Structure 1
Amino acid sequence: MNILLIGSGGREHTFAWKIAQSPLCEKLYIAPGNAGTKAFGENVAIHVTDFVKMQDFCVANHVEMVVVGPEEPLVKGLRDHFQADDRTKHIGIVGPGKAGAELEGSKDFSKKFMKKYGIPTAAYETFTKETVEEGISYIRKQQLPVVLKADGLAAGKGVLICPSHKEAESEFKSMLLEAKFGAASQKVVVEEFLSGIELSVFVALDGSDYVILPEAKDYKRIGDGDTGPNTGGMGAVSPVPFADADFMQKVSERIVSPTFKGLKEENIDYKGFIFIGLMNQGGDPFVIEYNVRMGDPETQAVLPRIKSDFVSLLEGIAKGNLRTYQLELEDFVSATVVMVAGGYPGDYEKGKPITGLTNTGNDRALVFHAGTALNQSGQVISNGGRVLGITGQGNDLSAALNSAYRRVNQIHWEGVNFRKDIGQDILQWEKTNVND
């Protein structure tokens, strides 16, 4: 079949790499793609929210399935647009409609959903600029640190963890009264801080059934030791050793199953991925947030571990026949290190030539492009904050990390930055918890 993949990041490069391996894919198009995706299909100059141009392209090129990578086109109703048009309503879409995408598009909506369906999460209240004073009063009653979340999409940067009440009050006012995150912070969720170890669980849903995919742990902050501001993600590892069978049983029973039932109760025909950000607090899972797509950079660590045909999984989601899909996993460990532009997540420069992308001799490491482009002479240049994701593989986490960092150290551009401690907390956990 002909497939259109929407997006331009590391997640989409990983999707393209995996889709191209399947005999079920005849022709792959990526809109708009990046310098890496063109190795697996044809990049198409269509913006991720230009639905009309997208629909015209699908009709002209006999596209049978559209796979949506990022959240923005989902929140803005890509599925709804396609289904409302007789020319495109037959096309399978991997990604929820606007109603389902509210799980990520609105933190307030998702918290109300969790509360309604008894899904364990942190205590919270939501405030607007009309209720600022009530919000400040609520903040002053909270134990430290205080978590503030912009209600809408903020490119992964709308969550603040404030160590003092004074800082929380100041940031709260900035978000609501000075539009710190633009329209995303017209509402602000003030939330109890959950302590523990974070991980992400990924679920494929087809409206009638679901399949739980491999879990991952990502690293959000820019600096080693989890210091500095939050980013879109600086690395990831999969599997996560503390997510054992007992813990994942709790996740399935307490979170995935009631989430699935809740969507059905709300009459939301959800066909796509849900990425559930979790906190393991004393062996019990609590939901931090929902995302309505696969994670980035977690996808770069998770997808290499899926052995069974990936297009079959996508087709199962789109056509509602996941029941017949048999998930098979590889037995290696994946570790992804994200290489970013100097200055990210603040101001950074683009257009820096990248060297060392070829002739590696390290065939177990995969290079996934994120913020890259080609200059006029055909050289790969930096074109974003997160530029590359390097995924190492190994029989254990140490070997996977060694594989990734060997490859990272072969690649260079002016100002390149990356964390040196991805996975170290997991290695420490393994040392502490290993059975004698």
Structure 2
Amino acid sequence: MTILLLGSGGREHALAWKILQSKQCKNLFVAPGNAGTAEIATNVNLDILNFEEIKAFVLKENISMVVVGPEDPLVHGIYDFFKNDSQLNNIPVIGPSKVGAQLEGSKEFAKEFLIKHKIPTAAYDSFTAQTVEKGCKFLETLQPPYVLKADGLAAGKGVLIIQDLNEAKDELRNMLVHAKFGQASSKVVIEEFLDGIELSCFVLTDGKNYKILPTAKDYKRIGEGDTGLNTGGMGAVSPVPFADAVLLEKIENRILKPTIEGLQKDGIEYKGFVFIGLINVKGEPMVIEYNVRMGDPETEVVIPRLKSDLVELFQAVAYEKLNEVSLEIDERSAATIMVVSGGYPEDYEKGKQISGIENIEDSLVFHAGTKLENGKVVTNGGRVIAVTSFGNDFQEATKKSYQNIEKLHFDKMYFRKDIGLDLF
């Protein structure tokens, strides 16, 4: 079959790499893709939010399946667009409906879903510009640190964790009154702070059945020791060493099952990935957030551990037969280190030539923010390249990734040197 994959990051390069291992895949198009996907598939310059443009391409190239990498097209309703179009409704879209995508598109929607279906999560309330002073009063009822979340999509940067009460009040006003995160912060959710260690859980579901993918832990802050500004993610390890059988059973019974059952009870169509951001609070898992697609850089560490045919899994999702296929996982550990542009996540320069990729051995290289310019691979984003390695444990895997990163070079290149260190 011919498959169209939407997106341009490290997540999409990893998905493309895995999709192409399937005997079911004859051709793969990636829109818009990057320099890494250009090496293994065919990049096409499509606007992934222009559904009419996507429709024309899908019909022209006789596309059999559309796999959606990032959240934006899902929140804008690409699943519904295909379902409601007589020329497209026989083509499976891997991703949830527009309503399902609100689990990520609206923090308030997600919190209401969690409370309704009795899934453990932090206490919260939500506020708008009209109720900003009520929000300040609500902050006074909480213990520091204070958690402020922009309700809408803010490219992974809409969450603030602040120690000082007055600073939290000022930031709440910045978000609501002065639109710090644009339209995304026209509503802000304030949550109680949960103290624990985070992990990510990934589920593939056809809306009724589900398969649990390997766990991962990512590292969001730019600085070592988890300091500095939040980024899209600086690295990840899988599996999570502290996620033992007891914790995993609690996660499945208290969070995963009620989530899938909740989607069914609420009549929400959902055929795709559910990425659940969790926190382990003294052995008790609680939900921090939902995402409606695979995470990045977690995809680059989780997908390589799948031994199963990903396209067969997607076909089972499309036809609600996920219970009829098995999921095989590589028992080895994997570690991904993200190499980023100097200055990221604030201002950074693009167009820096990257050298040394061809020298990397015994690791996987997934391009994130790259493009081809006159035949050369150059930087084209904040997060540039992910290097993923396997090992008997995560220490061995991270060591291999770091050894290979030493072979890479571009001007002002930066990476964290402590990924996984907190787990020793």
Q: Report the AA paired with residue 136 of structure 1.
A: C
> Quick one: distance in 1 between partners of 2:394 and 2:282?
23
Decide which moves more: 121-130 or 36-45: 36-45
SS across alignment from 1:153: coil
Q: Where does residue 134 of structure 2 map in the other structure? A: 134
Decide which moves more: 291-300 or 305-314: 305-314
Q: Where does residue 164 of structure 1 map in the other structure? A: 164
SS across alignment from 1:421: coil
- Aligned-residue offset at 1:112: 0.5
After the TM superposition, which residues 73-84 of structure 1 pair with which residues of structure 2 at under 5 Å, given as runs? 73-84=73-84
Q: Report the AA paired with residue 348 of structure 2.
A: Y
- Aligned-residue offset at 1:47: 1.5
SS across alignment from 2:49: coil
> Quick one: distance in 2 between partners of 1:44 and 1:228?
36
| CA deviation profile, 1:48-98 (whole Å, cap 9, x unmatched) | 111111111111111111000000000001111111111111101100010
> Quick one: distance in 1 between partners of 2:367 and 2:316?
27
Q: Does 1:368 align with 2:360?
A: no
Q: Does 1:180 align with 2:180?
A: yes
| CA deviation profile, 1:354-402 (whole Å, cap 9, x unmatched) | 0001033x22x11100000011x21000000000111111111111011
- Aligned-residue offset at 1:313: 1.2
- Aligned-residue offset at 1:40: 2.0
Q: Report the AA paired with residue 420 of structure 2.
A: G
Q: Give the counterpart of 2:376 among 379, 383, 401.
A: 379
After the TM superposition, which residues 416-427 of structure 1 pair with which residues of structure 2 at under 5 Å, given as runs? 416-427=413-424
Q: Where does residue 47 of structure 1 map in the other structure? A: 47
Q: Where does residue 338 of structure 1 map in the other structure? A: 338
| CA deviation profile, 1:228-274 (whole Å, cap 9, x unmatched) | 01001000000011111111110001001111111111100110100
Q: Give the counterpart of 1:401 among 391, 398, 403.
A: 398
- Aligned-residue offset at 1:39: 2.1
SS across alignment from 1:99: coil
- State the TM-score, normalizing by the size of structure 2: 0.99
Q: Where does residue 58 of structure 1 map in the other structure? A: 58
> Quick one: distance in 1 between partners of 2:320 and 2:33?
27
- Aligned-residue offset at 1:409: 0.9
Q: Report the AA paired with residue 383 of structure 2.
A: R
> Quick one: distance in 1 between partners of 2:209 and 2:60?
32
SS across alignment from 2:204: strand
SS across alignment from 1:358: helix
- Aligned-residue offset at 1:279: 0.1
After the TM superposition, which residues 290-369 of structure 1 pair with which residues of structure 2 at under 5 Å, given as runs? 290-360=290-360, 362-363=361-362, 365-369=363-367
SS across alignment from 2:35: coil
Decide which moves more: 103-112 or 39-48: 39-48
SS across alignment from 1:126: strand
After the TM superposition, which residues 186-225 of structure 1 pair with which residues of structure 2 at under 5 Å, given as runs? 186-225=186-225
Q: Where does residue 89 of structure 2 map in the other structure? A: 89
Identity %: 56
Q: Report the AA paired with residue 329 of structure 1.
A: I
After the TM superposition, which residues 66-77 of structure 1 pair with which residues of structure 2 at under 5 Å, given as runs? 66-77=66-77
- Do 2:200 and 2:277's aligned partners in 1 also have CA atoms closer than 8 Å? yes
| CA deviation profile, 1:105-153 (whole Å, cap 9, x unmatched) | 0000000110011000000000001101110000112100000000000
Q: Where does residue 410 of structure 1 map in the other structure? A: 407
> Quick one: distance in 1 between partners of 2:215 and 2:317?
19
- Do 2:340 and 2:385's aligned partners in 1 also have CA atoms closer than 8 Å? yes
- Do 2:359 and 2:407's aligned partners in 1 also have CA atoms closer than 8 Å? no
Q: Report the AA paired with residue 11 of structure 2.
A: R
SS across alignment from 1:296: coil
Extract structure 1 runs of 4+ deviating beyond 4 A: none
Q: Report the AA paired with residue 113 of structure 2.
A: F
Q: Does 1:389 align with 2:386?
A: yes
> Quick one: distance in 2 between partners of 1:50 and 1:424?
43
> Quick one: distance in 2 between partners of 1:421 and 1:318?
40
- Do 2:208 and 2:261's aligned partners in 1 also have CA atoms closer than 8 Å? no
Q: Where does residue 252 of structure 1 map in the other structure? A: 252
Unaligned runs of 5+ in 2: none
| CA deviation profile, 1:331-350 (whole Å, cap 9, x unmatched) | 21100000111100000000
Q: Report the AA paired with residue 410 of structure 1.
A: K
> Quick one: distance in 1 between partners of 2:154 and 2:359?
38
> Quick one: distance in 1 between partners of 2:47 and 2:357?
27
> Quick one: distance in 2 between partners of 1:217 and 1:30?
27
> Quick one: distance in 1 between partners of 2:219 and 2:189?
23
SS across alignment from 1:335: strand
- Aligned-residue offset at 1:167: 1.1
> Quick one: distance in 2 between partners of 1:11 and 1:300?
6
Q: Where does residue 433 of structure 1 map in the other structure? A: none
SS across alignment from 2:357: coil
- Do 2:366 and 2:387's aligned partners in 1 also have CA atoms closer than 8 Å? yes
- Do 2:80 and 2:98's aligned partners in 1 also have CA atoms closer than 8 Å? yes
| CA deviation profile, 1:255-298 (whole Å, cap 9, x unmatched) | 01111111111100110100000000111100000000000000
> Quick one: distance in 2 between partners of 1:325 and 1:279?
30
- Cα RMSD (Å) of the superposition? 0.7
Q: Where does residue 7 of structure 2 map in the other structure? A: 7
SS across alignment from 1:5: strand
Q: Where does residue 108 of structure 1 map in the other structure? A: 108
